[in-house]
Amino acid sequence: MLSATNQYNTEYMRQFQASGWLSSARREERLGQFFSDNYGDICIESMVELLRDRGEPGSAEYGGLLEGINNAGSMLSCVFSPEEQMMWISIPDEGRGSPDSEFYAFSLTKALAGEDPAIFSRNIKPTKEDYNLANWLLVREATLAYSQNELAATLEYLEQLDPEFTDAEAVVNLRAHTYLRLGNQAQTKHNFQMLAERPYVTEPFYLLQALIILGSIHDNSGDRAAAIKCYQAALEIEVSDLAGDSAFYQQLAEVGLRRPVYLESSGSSYYFTTRDSAITRFLKAPQVIPSNDVDSFSQYDGMQIVNVRILGVHETNERIVSQIVRLRPGSQFSASQFASGKRRLDALGALDQVQMHVIPISEDAVDIVVRLSEGFGFYLDPVQFVIENILNLSQKTIAIRYFNVAGTLASIGGEYSFGPSHRRAVYLTFPLGPWPITMRYQSYTTNTKLDWGKHEGSQYSLERKDASVSSNMPVGQNSAVGLTLGYSQSYVTNISTNTGLDVPSDEYVTLATTIQTGLPGTTTWTQGGTSVQAGVAILANRQDLQENFTSLHIKAKNQTYLGKGFVANIEINGAWTQSGTPFDRRLRLGGNGQLGANSPMFVGEMNLYSMLEIQRYFTYDLAAHVNYEVAKIWEDAADRDRSTSLHSVGVGLTYQTPIGLRVRAQYSKNLSLADTHSFSIGFVNPF
């Protein structure tokens, strides 16, 4: 059986509670009253009466024709009796919703025996019509007509009400909204004013809407003092279940206190505006969104893990997931271990989505929920699959990958380029115990022309083959250690030089390690936060291991929200490789938009690089930026007195499309070299 709800009652399920719908809090209250009044005496008939509830007879809810547990949208009602193995079903009939229609009884025992399951003698008759129900059903019909934008029919239903209910709370509210859609501000104001002047309004959300709309109507007529009074009153209203658009109306009230908010009508719709110009609205910064990645699990440290539930598994081996997550029932919860477990699952890249939740079930115990989305073998997301293949083909590359082979969380893939590089690659990613491992082999041809430095004008071609085994092992919440063991072969096919350039053909082995740590950002625009990475690598000649070269690097990045839609990105890098390192294995800067879009590749044995970029977000998806880059390069690490300084500036726009692709347009210029300014447009880190 599948079920959906917008209200949970147990402590366990309340962890999944989202903002409720209109009347959720009131329905919850009525449900509590029912169980209190009928404790020990609950039967099929009483449960049906509960579904038909419209408030306690004689109460303000009942007299106001408000929805109770019964509401206008009820399309199917069921009651089950596990003891009798029977169920009762009701559907809408003749102007009634499902709860007020006849409930038909069916027997599971008879159905399983191949007999007719219907037991008509156990049917429960429709709700007996009375004065209140007849009028409540008219309001229900009017509500359904309003939901279908049949505004004339809505008013006709309301006109059929008995005079006693003409000014009932639900009626006045619905009539006000109908006139609002019709653009009749006089009647709209009259009906909302009736709500606002009531000594007590049962549904706070109705009053909140009424005051906001009245404030806008007063702003339309130029009565700013009356408008502010309405906005102030609206901010004092508490809506217990965040019904409908209450957050929007509360924000609108805050705006209304600072400046006029006008109500505009268009056809059968309406909207609110501050009547700012399009340019003013565009230049106004969107509201920053706090990041959800900030640590919120440390409060559970030391609690006992009772259960670890893995959901969404169809093909994946649950035992492998458990090995990677390393959270076991009976152990103590650690926020650091929890975070690193999720990061290890993400690092494998074999699943479409990985979500992990901590559910407190008592004062000192928690459950862990791991929810997986597996993807579809050759792709995780169909849109991503199509777009990535289009992009690959535009770059003369064919790439294919198969995810989560046989449910082992291993993925295998390959690439082939029919461009000048003729690059061929195969790779395998798999879990070794809890650790993600990647094995990769590739071969390609490079043609390099040097346009800078002491070997300017030289060029060479080589064929290169690389094989490696690597692992990036998450540690705690924000740190990681990377290890790589590699083999590489270079064969120079052609070299042209007047400067004595030497590019050897040789075989090398590499051992490298990196350490990274940092702190996450606090907004969705600065999720990168602050990070620091340091690494060391040893490159050795396979024929003579005594011939080896050491290299070091350190990199620091920071993203900071400055306010008013501005974000600062700072990056500082430093790298060094031992003097005499083979030319094709030396450090490189530039190219791909770095230090100017058309800048040459800068090859050296030591460099320092820093970049400052200021972004301004106009919408959540569109941002402009200006950046400044500076670098210092030493071609010979042993000669510290000879170096070159480079400077570059750039401006541009970045837009994230609805399907996740980021498009970046940029003009950049290297200030140190001539003829290195250009305009470029392309995709940035797709998906």
- 88-111 pLDDT, tens digit per residue, is 999 988 889 899 999 999 999 999
Tokens representing residue 535 in the block: 């690494």
**Per residue, what are the HEC states of 380-428?**
CCHHHHHHHHHHHHHCCEEEEEECCHHHCCCEEEEEEECCCCCCEEEEE
CA 338: distance to chain centroid? 20
* CB proximity list for 579: less than 8 A, separation 6 or greater: 605, 636, 637, 638
Could you write out the DSSP letters of every residue in 79-90?
EEETTTTEEEEE
* CB proximity list for 570: less than 8 A, separation 6 or greater: 557, 558, 560, 610, 611, 612, 613
Exposed, middle or buried, 530 (CB in 10 Å: 0-12/13-18/19+)?
Answer: middle
Which pLDDT score is estimated for 19? 47
Residue 56 Rama label (left phi>0; alpha psi -120 to 50; beta): beta
pTM score of the predicted model: 0.67
CB 679 within 8 A of CB 665: yes
Tokens representing residue 392 in the block: 């690959």
Residue 67 Rama label (left phi>0; alpha psi -120 to 50; beta): beta
Beta strand pairing call for 77-81 and 530-541: unpaired
3-state secondary structure of 479: strand
Neighbour count for residue 545 (Cβ, 10 Å): 10
Which pLDDT score is estimated for 21? 45
Instruction: Return the closest-CA partner of residue 378 out of 412, 424, 328, 329.
Output: 412
CB 351 within 8 A of CB 375: yes
CB 212 within 8 A of CB 230: yes
The helix or strand, by DSSP H or E, that contains position 343, with its residue range, turns out to be helix 335-348
Q: How many residues does the chain have?
A: 687
3-state secondary structure of 255: helix
CB 7 within 8 A of CB 20: yes
CB 175 within 8 A of CB 184: no
Low-confidence ranges of the chain (pLDDT < 50): 1, 19-23, 242-243, 294, 686-687
Compute the distance between CA of residue 66 and CA of residue 72 in angstroms, rounded to an integer: 10
Compute the distance between CA of residue 651 and CA of residue 614 in angstroms, rounded to an integer: 10
Tokens representing residue 482 in the block: 């990377």
Compute the distance between CA of residue 650 and CA of residue 679 in angstroms, rounded to an integer: 10
pLDDT tens digit sequence for 373-395: 888 788 887 877 887 888 888 88
Task: Please give the backbone phi and psi of residue 408, each rounded to the nearest 5 degrees, phi first.
Answer: -95, 0
CB 366 within 8 A of CB 300: yes
Structural Rg of the chain based on CA atoms = 34
CB 611 within 8 A of CB 627: yes
Which pLDDT score is estimated for 213? 92
Compute the distance between CA of residue 289 and CA of residue 292 in angstroms, rounded to an integer: 9
3-state secondary structure of 451: coil
CA distances from 53 to 26, 81, 133 (A): 12, 20, 11
CB 608 within 8 A of CB 573: yes
What 8-state DSSP symbol labels residue 56?
-
CA distances from 390 to 103, 162, 570, 657 (A): 56, 65, 33, 16
- What residue ranges in 520-643 does DSSP mark as E strands? 530-541, 548-563, 566-577, 587-589, 602-604, 606-617, 622-634
In the block, tokens 């050296």 appear at: 604
3-state secondary structure of 143: helix
CB 198 within 8 A of CB 211: no
Return the amino acid letter for 287.
Answer: Q
Compute the distance between CA of residue 540 and CA of residue 81 in angstroms, rounded to an integer: 76
Exposed, middle or buried, 123 (CB in 10 Å: 0-12/13-18/19+)?
Answer: middle
* 578-609 core/surface letters (b: 16 or more CB in 10 A; e: else): beebbbbbbbebbeebbbbbbbbbbbbbbbbb
Tokens representing residue 599 in the block: 């800048």
Neighbour count for residue 221 (Cβ, 10 Å): 11
Tokens representing residue 281 in the block: 């609205």
Task: Using the Cα atoms of residue 613, residue 616, residue 620 and residue 623 in order, give the sign of their dihedral.
Answer: negative
HSE, CB side, 13 Å, CA atoms: give it for residue 276: 11
Compute the distance between CA of residue 640 and CA of residue 634 in angstroms, rounded to an integer: 7
